Structure 1
Amino acid sequence: MRRAVHAEWTKLRTGGGVLLAPVVLVVVIVGLGAVAAGAAKAGADPGRTALAGLDLGPAVIAVLAALPVGAEYATGMIRTTFAATPRRGAVLAAKAVVLGGPVALAGTVAAAGALLAGRWLGLDLALSGAVLRAAAGSVLFLVLVALLALGVACAVRDAAASSGLVLGLFYLSPVLVPLVRDPAWRRHLEQITPMNAGLAVRSLHVDGLAIGPWKGLAVLAAWAAAALAVGTVALLRRDA
């Protein structure tokens, strides 16, 4: 397993600027959070405002997950990977570790930076259990998005197609759900779609949310687990 992780890390860091994606993730989350905090109106949820940049997090992560996997299949390097590590489950686990680590680190820096910037710009973000929950939950949100995107990339094998699927999953649902007229169905859809459910964790004012912060992350974790399961089956059963 250690050798598999080392091999995946070597491929990632030599992958033509892929490691710039975590830097972009930090800049986007902190920058958009600062803009939202500066334009915030009275009564706005301070956590949701400061962490507004999380809305674009899945877009960056979808590319970060899709490009290395897609490149391996496009170039045929995946055959070398499986020859060096015949246990394909170990390959997927190593990819998850190598992808999740930088995303977790970038997410920690981004969440802390966004909350500090929001507090500096006047938002009520004094250290509390709710603020810590929003910070830690934001990091978990990004990691779960990365694992979901990895599962899709391993199943689809094409960088453009897998990125498109992940982007559609995360960004179409917030647009389509409000079009549902029945309030009960609309609330139910908000509870099970990955973007709406996962981002509940950044809100400090939980009254009125369709789903609680930790339950929302659990929904996103279920989506990630399902995607990884499909990706694992694709790795095990399909030819390289």
Structure 2
Amino acid sequence: MSLRSGARPTSTADGVWREDFARALRAEWTMLRTAGETGRLLLIGLVLTAAVGGGSVKAVKCPDAGCGQDAVKLALTGVTVGQAVIAVFAVLAVSGEYATGMIRTTLIAVPNRTPVLTVKATILTAVVLASGTAAVLASLLAGRHILPGNGSTEAHGYAPLSPADGPTLRAAVGSVLYLVLIALLGLGVATGVRDAASAVGIVLGLLYLFPTVARVVGDPEWQRHLHQISPMTAGPAIQGTARLHGLPIGAWASLGVVAAWAAAALLVGGLVLHRRDA
């Protein structure tokens, strides 16, 4: 009897969680869709990613002897710029609620705070997946059309960029996932810190601190280790399609590093969300 009676509260709790999740999902999507500033910021990130990638391939001239460039990674250079915009977008998607006081309304409507953070992560992942895919495909398309005119032809050992090519597909998918993980990192930090300026400073600091320190450190071994734990230098290793032995970390392992940073930020943010009032 005790086991049978104990099953009902679990089922009820699951139903309440699903209801809270659905309610929070509708509310979060409405807020994000009607927030003009954050939407424009996401569009800026998309355009910058594609524009910087196109500008990078345009600037490279390949002589008859070959230019020794990783054409795929070159075309995806804009991801290193777009990531900063994506990080700020993720921070503002959360901190804006705290600044306006809307977070109180959200938590009154959905008292269970786990679905609130889960929904924010879900919506953010979907939005960045869509925009990141568009930006990466636009970058590869620009590279495909511009590089041959600069000497990066099949005669010089450069096949036209195509997502159908295995290494190019891996670099493209990995770049999109990298942007998603950077967004989740920003979400976790913003949830824990709440203040937009502080959260942006922390996220950008995490991205740019390790590469800056690595330039100062003279020991090559320490430089390699710093690059391996830095989300900004480890993550883009997924884009490499040539001279892979020179990368600081393996392709998929590089995304594991960024995923660990994002998971840690979300864990801390979730704990703060549960323990502190709005």
Which TM-score tier does this pair reach, normalised by the shorter chain? over 0.9
Checking the alignment, whether the CA contact within 8 Å between 1:30 and 1:110 is kept in structure 2 is: yes
Q: Is the 8 A contact 1:58 1:170 kept in 2?
A: no
Structure 1 CA distance for aligned equivalents of residues 31 and 171 of structure 2: 33
Distance 1:234 1:67 in 2: 18
Q: Which amino acid aligns with 2:236?
A: L
Does 2:240 align with 1:215?
no
CA contact (8 A) 2:214 2:226 kept: yes
Structure 2 unaligned segments of length 5 or more: list them. 1-20, 62-66, 153-157
Normalised TM-score (structure 1): 0.96
Which of structure 1's runs of 4+ aligned residues deviate more than 6 A? none
Gaps spanning 5+ residues in structure 1: where? Answer: none
Number of residue equivalences: 240
The alpha-carbon deviation at position 145 of structure 1 amounts to 0.3
> Deviation digits for residues 93-139 of structure 1, max 9, x if unmatched?
11111111111101111111101110111253244110000000000
Cα distance, 1:21 vs structure 2 = 2.4
Partner of 1:141: 178
Q: 2-side partners of 1:27 and 1:57: how far apart?
A: 8
Deviations 1:54-86 (A, max 9, x none): 111221112211223222112221111111011
Query: Which residue of the partner structure matches residue 226 of structure 2?
Result: 189
Using the TM superposition, give the Cα deviation of residue 22 of structure 1 relative to its aligned residue in structure 2, in angstroms: 2.4
- Which one-letter code corresponds to 1:239 in the other structure? D
| C-alpha contact (below 8 Å) 1:22/1:102 kept by paired residues | no
Question: TM-score, normalized by length of structure 2?
Answer: 0.83
CA contact (8 A) 1:40 1:49 kept: no
**Residue equivalent to 1:52:** 77
Identity fraction in percent: 52
**1:24 corresponds to which letter in structure 2?**
I
Q: Which residue matches 1:82?
A: 107
1:27 to 47, 56, 64: 47
2:46–2:131 Cα contact (<8 Å) kept? yes
User: Deviation digits for residues 33-74 of structure 1, max 9, x if unmatched?
Assistant: 111001125111112210010111221112211223222112
Question: 1: distance between equivalents of 2:49 and 2:69?
Answer: 18
Structure 1 or 2, whichever has the larger Rg, is: 2
Instruction: Find the partner of 1:70 among 84, 92, 95.
Output: 95
